[in-house]
A and B are shown apart, each in its own frame.
Chain A
């Protein structure tokens, strides 16, 4: 199965990005082949609808699960339609979170924000 994670840097040992829609990169980790692929988030630079664009890139990357700190309502609508499950990260780095996920230690994310749109 393929797992997606929003990232600040293109490194397995780097921190998970606190933002989903505006994360600079995404990591897609394949649990079978243990291969990790990084790509730029096309939503990061968009004026609006960043979450939708970002979520679309996760759908297109054929991921089945997303591990993230948080996630907005629009992105979640995309994930629900695509059947992608969203989990809340508990660890700092991508590597640690993947390990935690594989041990079944990550819980589904069930609080989704309405978007920040310039607010802090």
Chain B
């Protein structure tokens, strides 16, 4: 069973919930899709990690073969190509590696070269959690190829796979959520947190994913959120109150479910509730 953890607003507690669930579920796989700032590994501490390089394709133009028909430039929906002095000009940072230009070139003047954009790291921690981490090189525009690579990891369906998503509700989140059986929406009980929660809720509804809510750093008293969940029939699975001791555990790079008895009960109850929700 694959559970995607997402939030909209950054700093809500996706990784906090994800790593604790990964430890609570036995023989689980944890996939960090927050490729711009993957930090689940700081808590899960995988050992003997293996790195796999991830590449993207970049078009190159063979000037001798180019007849200046401009098909490549006009077909690029990302506007990653210009046409200057009868020559196509490629903008690597804008290119999305869709391959349309080389496909449409009538003379075969465009070929694609591999360009490294990051790595996927894989290792097991002492508790037997398989930790997969997507890492995008600094300055790269799109982490999608890294996320795709991280998500092709073979997993055993009966075991739990936790997908720690990037913040926001853009392409990278959509990519991360696609393979999930269930979406866990972590929400912070603030105006900002609630605003972005509505955006991710809209996204998972659009993708027809079943979902449930975890309120983090708060309690059940934020009325707009409670009303919204009630109106839309969204299950609130649990509420993690703000506690200094949890913050302290996190700051030390430790896991709440291992260091704190209450947290241990909380996450195992949460996992049971998710299993129940998915079973329905």
Residues of A within 8 A of B79 (CB): 43, 46, 48-50, 52-53, 56
**A43-B79, A56-B73 known; A49-B91 Cβ under 8 A:** yes
CB interface residues, A 31-85, toward B, < 8 Å: 43, 46-50, 52-53, 55-56, 59, 74, 77-78, 81-82
Majority-rule SS of A interface residues = helix
- How big is chain A's contact interface, by range? 10 to 19
Among B77, B82, B85, contact of A52 (Cβ-Cβ < 8 Å): B82
How many chain B residues have a CB neighbour from A under 8 Å? 15
Majority-rule SS of B interface residues = loop
The reply to whether the CB of B270 lies closer than 8 angstroms to some CB of chain A is: no
Among B78, B82, B94, contact of A56 (Cβ-Cβ < 8 Å): B82
Among B76, B77, B78, B91, contact of A77 (Cβ-Cβ < 8 Å): B91
24 residue pairs bridging A and B, Cβ less than 8 Å apart = A43-B79, A47-B77, A47-B78, A48-B78, A48-B79, A48-B94, A49-B91, A50-B79, A52-B81, A52-B82, A52-B94, A53-B79, A55-B82, A56-B73, A56-B82, A59-B83, A59-B84, A74-B91, A74-B94, A77-B91, A78-B82, A78-B89, A81-B84, A81-B85
Besides the contacts A59-B84, A74-B91, what 18 more A-B pairs have beta carbons closer than 8 Å?
Answer: A48-B79, A48-B94, A49-B76, A49-B79, A49-B94, A50-B79, A52-B80, A52-B94, A56-B73, A56-B82, A59-B82, A74-B94, A78-B82, A78-B84, A78-B89, A81-B84, A81-B85, A82-B84
